[in-house]
Amino acid sequence: MSSGFDIEAVFAAGPVIPVLSFSSVGEAVETCQTLYDAGMRVFEITLRHPTAIAQIRAVVDTLPGDAIVGAGTVMNAALLSDAQHAGAKFGVSPGLTANLAESAQTSNWPFLPGVATVSEAMQAHAWGFDFLKFFPAETAGGAGFLKSLYAVLPDVRFCPTGGITPEKAPGYLELGNVPVVGGSWIIARNDVGRTDHPETAARAKAALLL
């Protein structure tokens, strides 16, 4: 079952992939609507809450058809299948196993696996993945690591994620192998952990200008 998208289209949708973790379906729908209204078109909803699959289904049903809603924290083939059937157009994982690689390719589902070392990047590339997440970016070597990788894996494009801030993002996005960064900073929360919608909209608009 193909989603009709590929990871290249996800990478082209804007300079930032917001990494989103919600504790309810309602919060997911309302916050993603705020992001959409601010101009965001790509959404990575992580599978870190028992309602996460329901969150994806509800956001897919609510947002207009040009929203590219994906699933993050896809750790195994069962989650991959659940997210795909909930309507997620792509999947993201912090790492990559042989089983996940085979499941993504067998199901023809756009998949962005995570790597943190040169050998992991070589392995993922050898398995056919040209678009990789670099996670956790700031602690695994930062922009300097990706600059070095460009020399030996020039065909691979990266989405660094983990510790990225609006201040650090430009140092990644100026690299020839980094068209997009990921991060959770886009979502502002108030004192009781609820989404601060005006501040979130402001952060999303600023991120789109990076």
Ligand X SMILES: O=C[C@H](O)COP(=O)(O)O
Active site residues: 44, 133
Give the whole-angstrom CA distance, residue 140 versus residue 142.
6
Verify binding: residue 84, ligand PYR, rule CB under 6 A. no
Q: Distance between terminal CA atoms of the chain? A: 34
Residues 10-39: x where in contact with ligand X by CB under 6 A, - otherwise, as a string: ---------x--------------------
Instruction: Give the nearer residue to ligand PYR in terms of CB position, either 115 or 143.
Output: 115
Q: Which among ligand PYR, ligand X, none contacts residue 164 (Cβ within 5 to 8 A by kind)? A: ligand X
- Give strand pairing partners of 115: 134
Q: Which is nearer to ligand PYR, 55 or 161 (CB)?
A: 161
Residues in contact with ligand X, counted by CB under 6 A, come to a total of 8
C-alpha distances in Å from residue 127, one per residue of 79, 110, 154: 20, 14, 16
- Label the pairing between strands 16-20 and 157-160: unpaired
Kindly tell me which residue out of 36, 135, 158, 172 binds ligand PYR, with binding defined by CB under 6 A.
135
SS3 of residue 45 by DSSP: strand
**Biggest distance spanned by C-alpha atoms of the chain:** 46
What is the distance between the alpha carbons of residues 187 and 195, in angstroms, rounded to a whole number? Answer: 7
The interface partner of residue 89, options being ligand X, ligand PYR, none and the CB cut-off 5 to 8 Å by kind, is none
Nearest distance from C-beta of residue 163 to ligand X, angstroms = 5
Instruction: Note whether 93 binds ligand X by CB under 6 A.
Output: no
- By the 10 Å C-beta count (0-12 exposed, 13-18 middle, 19+ buried), 77 is classed as middle
Nearer to ligand X, 62 or 188 (CB): 188
5 binds, among ligand PYR, ligand X, none (CB under 5 to 8 A by kind): none
- Cβ atoms of 24 and 50 closer than 8 Å: no
Q: Which two tokens stand for residue 76?
A: 């195994």
User: Residue 134 CB, nearest distance to ligand PYR (Å)?
Assistant: 10
| Residue number with CB closer to ligand PYR (93 or 177) | 93
Which residues contribute to the site for ligand X (CB under 6 A)? Answer: 19, 161-164, 183-185
Binding residues (CB under 6 A) for ligand PYR: these are 46, 72-73, 92-94, 114, 133, 135, 161
